[in-house]
Structure 1
């Protein structure tokens, strides 16, 4: 098969997806790699119907690669994940609305352009977790104890853009990260970015039926095939606090081979053929 990977500069040394690309090459497939952030792209030549069996995106939120992926989809090429839904999951405000509408357990979500605007929330909403609506990799996630601390949450948002705030979910300091590799689910533990002093051994853990149902439903709601979800085990049960397309798949056994095989299967069979909630919502907004 002939595949095209769009890889952001930030991931130029990362095993995911570079090891996947090497694995596909070792299996005899042709993989072209495009670096959207550091090269001239002759888009009219690069994206031609039939020139690749599938396109795969590994970029940061707001990176230029998503436009290229959407252009490939617009001329009828297969994309992994579905290009129609990636913006919907990368916009954390929109993702929270879609998740809540579909019955997923998510915290109440508030949006503002400046952190001080969250001071209008009642004291019962604090502490708050404040982060950029287009953030990724845990960037600029802040735990805000009270309204008086809100200005500190804006220190790392100098570039502007919307912020989202959600009430803090009390937890042990350990995040549950659940990965889906084209329907195969894996649960792992890692340290919460809000508890940097907490010691956690990153490892694969058993996947309970409840978490498996939630994780599978996330894929249905957002229309994703390769994704990861951050789930907190709060006092009232599991809560979904973040979803990412094409994550790191850390601690997933044989992750490189599994992801490479999933890319080939999705390229051959196409992405989800059902109309996910996210795709319907985005189409309806146009």
Structure 2
């Protein structure tokens, strides 16, 4: 089989490890996310979120090729307003998310709160705002940035990171960069309780994702989802490359069976 990696960074650790596993018996090709669908493959892994990458993924999907994750699901996870609306409609415990317009126009907020870029991307805005001085500082640097606001959840000061690949849950805890005593530290191994793993799986069902991350905080009465990411890095999680390789092969095999059935 041929597996296509839609990425500008094929050396990313999880992709490189997955490609090494697949290359033992299959062909792995890197597809430029800024190009056209000129490379044929049995399945594509979409590890890019740019407009060009999404257009390419849609072109491949129209031709009948399976893309993991789909262009529609990937694009949905870039818009925090749409994400929150879908999660709320599905009854997921997503942080209350308000479309606040441009950051420079934000007026009379209830401090403290968290402000985020509406459109999720690399190096986007995610910050805790404790008062007017901090708000003015951020607005000076991001005056035209469309933003959302969320209540600041004090929790324990630790982010709970759950990553799912084809319904296999991987997890770690990381010191929150928004905590008052935030400090640099690597992820810590963490075994999520069964109900939190089940919540992460439910997110995939609602959002139509096969490879994704869920960021949780401990709320006053229940865990709170503060973000969902399509195809995150899943760095340093034993078994993640194997799960991703198995997913690619399974989806490619399913496509082959469908194509064979159509040919009869």
Fold agreement, TM-score > 0.5: yes
Separation in 1 of the partners of 2:73 and 2:156? 32
- Of 31, 35, 43, which aligns to 1:54? 43
Aligned residues: 254
Q: How does 1:9-28 map to 2 (within 5 A)?
A: 11-25=9-23, 27-28=24-25
Is 1:118 the counterpart of 2:106? The answer is yes
- Of 162, 165, 189, which aligns to 1:181? 165
Match of 1:128 in 2: 113
Match of 2:258 in 1: none
Q: Determine helix, strand or coil for the equivalent of 2:203.
A: helix
Instruction: Tell whether the 8 Å contact from 1:202 to 1:251 is kept in structure 2 after alignment.
Output: no
Match of 2:261 in 1: none
Shift of 1:191: 2.1
What per-residue deviation string (whole Å, max 9, x for no partner) do you get for residues 123-146 of structure 1? 3xx211111122235632111112
Q: Determine helix, strand or coil for the equivalent of 1:242.
A: strand
| Residue ranges of structure 2 left out of the alignment (5+ in a row) | 256-264
- Structure 2-normalised TM-score? 0.87
Match of 1:141 in 2: 126
RMSD between aligned residues: 2.2
Match of 1:83 in 2: 71
- Structure 1-normalised TM-score? 0.81
Shift of 1:202: 1.5
| Residue ranges of structure 1 left out of the alignment (5+ in a row) | 271-286
Match of 1:35 in 2: 32
Match of 1:230 in 2: 215
- Of 102, 105, 108, which aligns to 2:96? 108
Q: How does 1:265-280 map to 2 (within 5 A)?
A: 265-269=250-254
